[in-house]
Amino acid sequence: MAAFRRGSGGVEESAWVAEVETAVADGGASEEESSRWRLHCIYRVPACVKDLNRKAYQPQVVSLGPFHHGEPQLAPMDAHKRRALVHFLRRARRPLPEFAAAVAGLGERLEGAYQGLGDEWRGGGGERFVELMVTDGCFILEVMRAATGWEVNDYAGDDPVFSAHGLLYTVPYIRRDMLMIENQLPLLVLERLLAVETGKDGNEDLINRLVLLFLSPTAWPLTTGVGLALHPLDVLRRSLLYGPAPAPPPSDPSPAPAPDDIIRPAEELYEAGVRFKRSPTSSLLDIRFHRGTLYLPPIAIDDTTEYMLLNLMALERLHAGAGNGVTAYVFFMDSMVGSARDVALLAARRVVHSAVGGDRAAARLLNGLSRDVVLEPGSALDGVHREVNAYCRKRWNRWRANLVHTYFRSPWSFMSLLAAVFLLVMTVLQTVYTVLPYYGDQS
């Protein structure tokens, strides 16, 4: 490293000093940098996060977008992408240059969607980038249409992807790969492709609905008229966080919970008198505490739950302004589930449905989701957190819960209690009738 010296060619004249002084004079981040950051919505997961579970962020069968394009294990799907493009063009009866021109016109916006995009892809609508966007966009449209039955399937009966066999055995892996934050495609690409195919704009709600129907057929439909989502993962996140967020009671001026004041496991809360019920909706925001009952949205734990939640949390962590609704929910549930008994308790209340090999496996999965999680101050669930802990600190609630759990757990326990009370009453009456004649004779 060259030494800095004063004088001719010294510190005052170094290129580094001149560059920093210019930046100081400009007042920090330039407007150009800010506008570029606002375009970002697809990110590479930092190594500190990815090292905790690399498989959760790595696509298995298909690359979408530039970040994983060309990886050897994903290359076999490229031939299927090209075939999907041909079928799409044949059915649309529009020339490929029209689709390419429509996508190329948004080249800078699409390139800006990818944070840290390599120089080999840049160029304001360069041919290689446009080819990738059009090919991957048509492939996604074809897969979603075939899987949801929106279009007549004109593929061969033994097609590896688009036949009934492919929809059963291959498409589920494609669906899972579409959940990876590094494997996203801007929905703006699909909007441009549909605009050329149909000859009209205004397909935002249609695209949002098609993506959600493919990713989660039973999910709550998105609100219409709110604009196009960023990408498929954003569509899924919106569907999971519909409705108003829980808020602290207006009359509760207490501060946020202390770091050591955490939500106790479900079994401990149950012993403290807290009852559990399934929320009327599946929104992750629909968590509330009312008169000793904690209402929780139902969650199905299967092979894709871990990948889905980790990538949704990564999106909230990396995308400024996304909020922390999913992260707060995962942290809340991780606190409540400490063992298989907690899962069993919540499963009995129809809050948790496990399809990953039993209660122990479900507990282990939920416990592994919130490692190194950072919560924003004033999380949406802080109010519920305070209410539950305040309820559990009241001794009367614990005594009443102990009475109910001990003597009202089953009809036989209740009958034993009644028999004991009956015997006690009869003993007291017998004593009274035995003593009364004695005092009568004394008078």
- Judged against a pLDDT cut of 70, whether residue 2 lies above it is answered with no
What is the DSSP pairing of strand 293-296 with strand 299-301?
Answer: unpaired
Q: What is the pLDDT of residue 223?
A: 80
* Region 180-191 average pLDDT: 97
Largest Cα–Cα separation, the chain: 126
Give the pLDDT band of residue 253 (cuts 50, 70, 90): very low
Structural element, H or E, at residue 352: strand 352-354
Calculate what percentage of the chain has a pLDDT beyond 70.
81
Task: Kindly state the tokens that stand for 389.
Answer: 């802990």
Q: Taking a C-beta distance cutoff of 8 angstroms, is the pair 341, 62 a contact?
A: no
Q: Taking a C-beta distance cutoff of 8 angstroms, is the pair 344, 362 a contact?
A: no
Q: What is the pLDDT of residue 403?
A: 43
Q: What is the pLDDT of residue 407?
A: 45
Cα 171 to Cα 177: distance, rounded to the nearest angstrom: 10
The residue ranking higher by pLDDT, 264 or 135, is: 135
DSSP letter string, 103-155: HHTTHHHHHHTBTT--GGG-SSS-HHHHHHHHHHHHHHHHHHHHHHT-S---S
- Judged against a pLDDT cut of 80, whether residue 91 lies above it is answered with yes
Digit-coded pLDDT (tens) for 192-202: 999 999 999 88
Phi, psi of 135 (to 5 degrees): -65, -50
| SS3 category, 348 | helix
Q: What is the pLDDT of residue 397?
A: 46
The residue ranking higher by pLDDT, 428 or 61, is: 61
Phi, psi of 178 (to 5 degrees): -70, -10
Domain ranges of the chain: 47-224, 266-399, 410-442
Digit-coded pLDDT (tens) for 359-410: 899 999 998 888 877 777 667 688 888 888 888 777 544 544 444 444 445 5
Alpha-carbon dihedral 323, 247, 374, 286, rounded to 10 degrees: -80
Give the pLDDT band of residue 83 (cuts 50, 70, 90): very high
Q: Which amino acid is at 243?
A: G
Alpha-carbon dihedral 106, 107, 110, 114, rounded to 10 degrees: -160
- Judged against a pLDDT cut of 50, whether residue 259 lies above it is answered with no
55-64, 151-160, 283-292, 314-323: least confident range = 151-160
Digit-coded pLDDT (tens) for 94-144: 999 999 999 999 989 999 999 999 888 987 557 899 999 999 999 999 999
DSSP letter string, 267-326: HHHHHTT-EEEE-SS--TT--EEETTEEEE--EEE-TTHHHHHHHHHHHHHHSTT--SHH
**Minimal CA–CA distance to 272: which of 251, 241, 293?**
293
* Region 343-352 average pLDDT: 93
* Region 212-241 average pLDDT: 90
Q: What is the pLDDT of residue 264?
A: 83
* Arithmetic mean of pLDDT over the chain: 84
Please report the beta strands in 45-198, taking only residues with DSSP state E, as ranges in sequence order: none
Q: What is the pLDDT of residue 78?
A: 96
21-35, 283-297, 309-323, 394-408: least confident range = 394-408
Give the pLDDT band of residue 307 (cuts 50, 70, 90): very high
Across the beta sheet with 293-296, the strand order is 275-278, 293-296, 288-290
